[in-house]
């Protein structure tokens, strides 16, 4: 319907490959590839047209290439029947894909030093981001973590495209034993980072935001929240986020995110309705002082 | 063949019977990225309340076999924002608007009906009787008590513009859906929408905790379709003159045929919008093809076909 919004397409699978502990699927999707900006995601129907598995699975876009008019690659781990079905796809199978969805990572206007922090398969969207930042003359450093060596995604690529790359594993099987936040402060200082970009589980994003805060630099986080539609209509993926006006709203991760400024996400209140959120029970904001709503506020 | 897709819901004529279900299409804006919303019969908006509501905590959703459980808790910006932002947008795109209203207490429904009636361009009001009434100490739904449901419908009818159709949205998990429907019609509902989600539960096998916050969620999707078709059939049998919008697990054009044969005059597409954002136009296309292949010249001829002896239409 437009040149920039998402499209729904039946895409031929180009290939499915194992990458460390994960799978990567590349599909031919020119319309999605040409609209894509770093940080956006696709949602993929699983199980076939008459499957009892109704809901799409969201995946961050990991790579976009100009081949065949435009290809899109996304990464996933097999976690249930839907992802198990995806892992069984073969070249030339068709996948029903909607994308690109969500708000992309904002890019700095000037060349600045950026540290990209990823956990597990959450690292995937950081790679196209790194390339976008490099094209703008930014310095890029990586901090990637995972439970074990095979869950630190694409360490070799990270080393190749970044100035420095530091790795952590929970079990110490690769890089430094511990969490990404154990090394992040040192990286920020040594690389004189101006901004942090992070993607991974919510507790990691919370900890990364705290580290960035102690160093006084901004952080952009891409959240992973369960969602049914990915297009903004189901209202199931909401998290509490503080707006520029200081008011907390329950916003949709899919269309208002998945990228937010870390300090605006109320990580301690995720999974709750904060008492002071717009429209919370007992909320007293009604009347003359009600804030104006903009198109990206709650629907 | 030139199939006539027009259907009537009392005084309201729609160009075709495929509409969206409340809560499954927002106010049309998101789906409009995928198709022209003027093409479908109407958009039923997400239920609007008087004030902004933040809704329920996460997790709000769990996938179940052929369905999903959800509990968004009526999150929405309130009627002011709806009337300033969402409704004008929908009408500007040529969409027909069935505005769903939800209230805590009967008076809020009346106020909403009055406010929405004052807006030109609205095609109908749908009264959501399946939301828990915060004014009720036990958190019961209006639909749990036919007399209370009828009181809400009556209030909406008396506050709404007289030419604006009022549709009562019924719950299916009630002791007697025919009694509920009859009470709403006697309270001057112009038509009925059925069904809403059905209360259900799933337990996370890993944590052994309820899969959605609050434990109980609303089950929707193809899993509830036979229940929905059964309700439409029984109510149409009892009240053959009352127009019905049928809904519950519609996924294909064949499902629309099924609902209309059971007695629905229009059919709403709900949960499938989440998984297939183009579903409404696909379902409409499949439905049109189904009519053509059967040689049915008018969609309206299908209504109630399952009640008639013989081989259908």
Res B138: pLDDT: 78
Omega prior to A258 cis, within 30 of 0: yes
Contact A8 B278 (CB under 8 A): yes
> Residues 119-138, chain A: which have Cβ within 8 Å of B?
none
Q: Which chain B residues are Cβ-neighbours of A234 within 8 angstroms?
A: 24, 61, 70, 72, 274
In chain A, which among 20-59 make CB contacts under 8 A with chain B?
45, 52-56
Res. B139 pLDDT band, cuts 50 70 90: confident
Count contacts between A and B (CB, < 8 Å).
145
**pTM for this predicted structure:** 0.93
- The mean per-residue pLDDT over the stretch B73-88 comes to 95
- Write down the pLDDT at residue A298: 37
Helix (H, G, I), strand (E, B) or coil at A113: strand
Comparing C-alpha atoms, which of A275, A225, A288 is closest to residue A251? A225
Whats the size of chain B, residue-wise?
313
Is the pLDDT at B147 greater than 90? The verdict is yes
Q: How many CB atoms lie within 10 A of CB B107?
A: 14
Q: Which residues of B touch A273 (CB under 8 A)?
A: 54-57
Chain B nearest-CA distance from A271, in A, is 5
List of chain A residues whose C-beta atoms are within 8 Å of the C-beta of residue B68: 54-55, 228
β-strand A41-44 against A94-101: which pairing, if any?
antiparallel
φ/ψ of B91, rounded to 5, equals -70, -35
**Is B131 an active-site residue?**
yes
* A223: closest CA of chain B, how far (Å): 14
pLDDT tens figures, B269-296: 999 999 999 999 999 999 999 999 999 9
Q: Is B57 helix (H, G, I), strand (E, B) or coil?
A: coil
Q: What is the chain B residue with the closest CA to A236?
A: B60
Pick the closest to residue A298 from A245, A246, A239, A228 (CA basis): A239
Evaluate if residue B261 carries a pLDDT over 50: yes
Q: Do A271 and B80 touch (CB under 8 A)?
A: no
CB contact under 8 A, B63 and A54: yes
Euclidean distance between CA atoms B198 and B277, whole angstroms:
23
| Burial readout B187-226 (b: 16 or more C-beta within 10 A, e: otherwise) | bebbbbbbbbbbbbebeeeeeeebbbbeeebbbbbbbbbe
Residues of chain A with pLDDT under 50: 286-299
Average pLDDT over residues B146-175: 96
Chain B residues closer than 8 Å to A5 by CB: 33
Given B24, B131, B184, B231, the catalytic residue: B131
Instruction: Express each pLDDT in A223-253 by its tens digit.
Output: 988 889 999 999 999 999 999 999 999 999 9
């Amino acid at each position: 319907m437009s040149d920039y919004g998402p499209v729904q397409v039946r895409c031929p699978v180009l290939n499915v490959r194992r990458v460390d502990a994960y799978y990567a699927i590349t599909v031919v999707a020119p319309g999605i590839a040409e609209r894509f900006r770093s940080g956006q995601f696709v949602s993929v129907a699983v199980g076939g047209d008459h499957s009892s598995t109704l809901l799409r699975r969201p995946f961050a876009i990991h790579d976009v290439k100009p081949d065949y008019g435009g290809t899109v690659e996304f990464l996933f781990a097999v976690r249930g029947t839907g992802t198990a079905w995806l892992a069984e796809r073969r070249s030339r199978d068709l996948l029903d894909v909607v994308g690109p969805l969500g708000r992309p990572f904002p890019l700095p206007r000037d060349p600045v030093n950026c540290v990209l922090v990823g956990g597990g398969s959450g690292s995937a969207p950081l790679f196209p981001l790194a390339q976008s930042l490099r094209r703008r003359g930014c310095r890029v450093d990586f901090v990637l973590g995972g439970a074990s060596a095979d869950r630190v995604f694409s360490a070799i690529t990270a080393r190749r495209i970044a100035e420095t790359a530091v790795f952590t594993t929970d079990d110490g099987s690769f890089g430094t034993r511990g969490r990404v936040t154990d090394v992040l402060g040192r990286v920020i200082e040594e690389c004189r980072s101006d901004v942090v970009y992070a993607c991974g589980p919510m507790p990691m994003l919370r900890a990364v935001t705290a580290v960035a805060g102690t160093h006084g630099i901004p952080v952009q986080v891409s959240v992973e929240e369960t969602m049914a539609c990915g297009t903004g209509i189901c209202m199931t993926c909401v998290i509490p986020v503080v707006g520029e006006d200081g008011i907390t709203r329950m916003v949709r991760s899919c269309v208002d995110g998945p990228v937010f400024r870390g300090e605006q996400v109320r990580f301690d209140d995720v999974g709750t309705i904060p008492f002071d959120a717009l429209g919370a029970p007992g909320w007293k904001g009604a009347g003359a002082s009600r804030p104006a709503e903009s198109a990206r506020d709650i629907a | 063949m030139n199939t006539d897709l027009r259907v009537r819901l009392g005084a309201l004529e729609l160009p075709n019977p495929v509409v969206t279900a409340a809560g499954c299409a927002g106010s049309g804006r998101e789906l409009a990225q995928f198709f022209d919303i003027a093409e479908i019969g109407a958009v039923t908006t997400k239920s609007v309340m008087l004030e902004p509501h933040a809704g329920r905590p996460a997790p709000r959703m769990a996938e179940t076999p052929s369905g999903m459980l959800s509990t968004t808790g009526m999150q929405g910006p309130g009627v002011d924002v709806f009337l300033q932002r969402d409704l004008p947008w929908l009408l500007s795109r040529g969409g027909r608007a069935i505005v769903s209203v939800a209230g805590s207490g009967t008076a809020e429904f009346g106020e909403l009906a009055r406010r929405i009636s004052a807006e030109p361009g609205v095609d109908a009001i749908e009264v959501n009787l399946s939301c828990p009434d915060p004014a009720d100490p036990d958190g019961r739904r209006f639909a749990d008590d036919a007399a209370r449901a009828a009181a809400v419908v009556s209030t909406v009818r008396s506050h709404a513009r007289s030419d604006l159709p009022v549709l009562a949205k019924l719950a299916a998990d009630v002791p007697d859906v025919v009694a509920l429907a009859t009470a709403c019609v006697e309270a001057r509902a112009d038509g009925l929408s059925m069904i809403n989600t059905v209360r259900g539960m799933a337990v996370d096998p890993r944590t052994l905790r309820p899969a959605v916050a609050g434990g109980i969620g609303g089950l929707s999707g193809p899993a509830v379709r036979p229940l929905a078709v059964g309700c439409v059939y029984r109510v149409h049998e009892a009240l053959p003159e009352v127009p019905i919008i049928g809904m519950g697990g519609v996924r294909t054009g064949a499902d629309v045929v099924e609902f209309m044969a059971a007695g629905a005059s229009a059919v709403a597409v709900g949960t499938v919008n989440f998984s297939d954002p183009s579903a409404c136009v696909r379902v409409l296309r499949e439905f049109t093809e189904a009519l053509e292949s059967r040689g049915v010249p008018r969609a309206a001829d299908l209504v109630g076909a399952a009640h008639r002896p013989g081989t259908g239409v």
